[in-house]
A and B are shown apart, each in its own frame.
Chain A
Amino acid sequence: MVVLAAGPPIGTLLEARLPTHILGQYSLIVAGGALIGGRLARGRVAPSTAAPALLAAILTLGFWFLPRWIDASLADPAIRAAKVASLACLAGLPLGWGWTQAGPVLRGFLVANAAAMLTIMGWLMRVVPSRLCNAYLLSDQHLLANGLLIAAGTLLAVLLVPALTGSASDAGPASRRSASQSQRHPAE
């Protein structure tokens, strides 16, 4: 998935427009890394690694959301390679690992913060009158802003609907472990 999103011709096609670059290519690369991270975390119980892993993913994504580095990745093949590698290994992989290890509170905190950050970025991209990226048109910036706002709304729905309908469940390893312990020792 990472190679497909980064290499030609799909990578070139995705990078041609700002919305597809960020929402398409970034998402595919991060998702590819997250699948590997999630698989590595399967069967392992290390909840203390969840927070640093998720923070690493957030900071890496924050770096590559900077307009300056979006431009730089298009102008310099070495920076482009660094973008692909770090989005896969420092954002996707720890995201998959950290999400698998995280409990419901940390997961909810992550989703709520991601929704807030996407809303702020989307709003900023809509109201800034000038282009933030030299390599893309202002109309592309507005399209990306809309995409980020829709993504924020989707994340909020993912967080709120199960909570409001009472179907929210805990899939974190720490709670699964404590749940299984209480089943074995109900009197304790």
Chain B
Amino acid sequence: MRAGLATFAVAAIGSAALWWGTDGGGALTSEAARRLNIAAAPRGLPDATLHDQSGAELALSDYRGAPLVLEFVYATCPDICLALGTAFEQLDAILPEDARLVSISFDPQDDTERLGWFAGRHGATAPRWRVAGIADEAERAALIARAGVVVIPDRRGGFVHNAGLYLVDAEGRLTAVFDPDDTEGLRAALTGDAR
């Protein structure tokens, strides 16, 4: 009897811990947890000075007042960033005119030439769609950390990173993260709640 009660108590406490540790079974991975957390509590993004594919400088905060979609890439990425670029091409075609797109490179090696190459490959043209780097290391790290982007070396000279489409509202708050192939979901959110 005592053994049964003790086993039941341990099972109850353990199940509660697992329930808490997975946000009610909804987030087994840190990526899922990040998305749930952002959707539940939109977070402000730190400002950063961007330099785009034409060499022009502007601040991320300059985009306030209209919806913005971000993605984090690096110019020489051979796989997932190409999919992200394609997703932005689709968003470029379907989002309202006042919405803006910025592909932000987390690779400090991405200079204006490389950013221009990535922009040319995907047909990105300012001011609608900028491909930009952040020269200041602290600003770049702060923005990436706040967005929950994790970048690790791929042991072949490139990087592996979690991919997503980041919806930022007119007040500069990150409100949702979408899969690269969920451009329709992002459009629906942007034309509805994000404004």
- A-to-B contact residues, CB < 8 Å: 48-49, 51-52, 55-56, 58-60, 62-63, 66-69, 71-72, 131-138
B residues contacting the other copy or chain, number (CB 8 A): 27
Q: If the complex has contacts A68-B30, A68-B32, A132-B29, are A48 and B162 also in contact, measured as CB distance less than 8 A?
A: no
Contact with A along B1-37 (1 / 0, CB 8 A): 0110011011101110110011000011111110000
- Complex Cα gap A66–B33 (Å): 12
Residues of chain A with a CB closer than 8 A to B6's CB = 48-49, 51-52
Question: Do residues A68 and B18 form an inter-chain contact, with CB atoms below 8 A?
Answer: no
Question: Do residues A59 and B160 form an inter-chain contact, with CB atoms below 8 A?
Answer: no
Question: Do residues B160 and A55 form an inter-chain contact, with CB atoms below 8 A?
Answer: no
- Complex Cα gap A138–B156 (Å): 14
Question: Do residues B18 and A62 form an inter-chain contact, with CB atoms below 8 A?
Answer: yes
Question: Do residues B22 and A68 form an inter-chain contact, with CB atoms below 8 A?
Answer: yes
Residues of chain B with a CB closer than 8 A to A55's CB = 7, 10-11, 14
B contact face: mostly helix, strand, loop, or mixed: helix
Question: Do residues B21 and A68 form an inter-chain contact, with CB atoms below 8 A?
Answer: yes
Residues of chain B with a CB closer than 8 A to A132's CB = 28-29
Most B-side CB within 10 Å, residue of A49, A59, A62:
A59
Question: Do residues A72 and B30 form an inter-chain contact, with CB atoms below 8 A?
Answer: yes
Residues of chain B with a CB closer than 8 A to A60's CB = 14
- Complex Cα gap A41–B116 (Å): 68
9 closest A-B pairs by CB: A59-B14, A48-B3, A71-B30, A134-B150, A52-B6, A52-B10, A52-B7, A67-B29, A68-B30
Give the shortest distance, in Å, between B150 (CB) and chain A (any CB). 4
- Say which residue of B7, B15, B27 sits within 8 Å of A68 (CB atoms): B27
Q: Is B154 part of the contact surface with A, judged by Cβ < 8 Å?
A: yes
Question: Do residues B9 and A52 form an inter-chain contact, with CB atoms below 8 A?
Answer: yes
A-B contact pairs, 18 of them (CB 8 A): A51-B3, A52-B3, A52-B7, A52-B10, A55-B11, A56-B10, A59-B18, A60-B14, A63-B14, A63-B18, A67-B29, A68-B22, A68-B28, A131-B160, A132-B28, A132-B29, A133-B30, A135-B152
Nearest chain A residue, comparing its CB with the CB of B161: A134
Residues of chain A with a CB closer than 8 A to B155's CB = 137
- Complex Cα gap A62–B31 (Å): 19
Give the shortest distance, in Å, between A76 (CB) and chain B (any CB). 11
Question: Do residues B29 and A133 form an inter-chain contact, with CB atoms below 8 A?
Answer: yes
Give the shortest distance, in Å, between B178 (CB) and chain A (any CB). 15
Question: Do residues B30 and A134 form an inter-chain contact, with CB atoms below 8 A?
Answer: yes
Question: Do residues B21 and A137 form an inter-chain contact, with CB atoms below 8 A?
Answer: no
Q: Find residues 135-186 in chain B having any chain A CB closer than 8 Å to their own CB.
A: 150, 152, 154-155, 160, 162
Nearest chain A residue, comparing its CB with the CB of B148: A134
- Complex Cα gap A185–B135 (Å): 85
- Complex Cα gap A57–B150 (Å): 31
- Complex Cα gap A63–B17 (Å): 8
- Complex Cα gap A152–B95 (Å): 50
Nearest chain A residue, comparing its CB with the CB of B31: A134
Question: Do residues A69 and B150 form an inter-chain contact, with CB atoms below 8 A?
Answer: no
Residues of chain A with a CB closer than 8 A to B10's CB = 52, 55-56, 59
Nearest chain A residue, comparing its CB with the CB of B163: A130
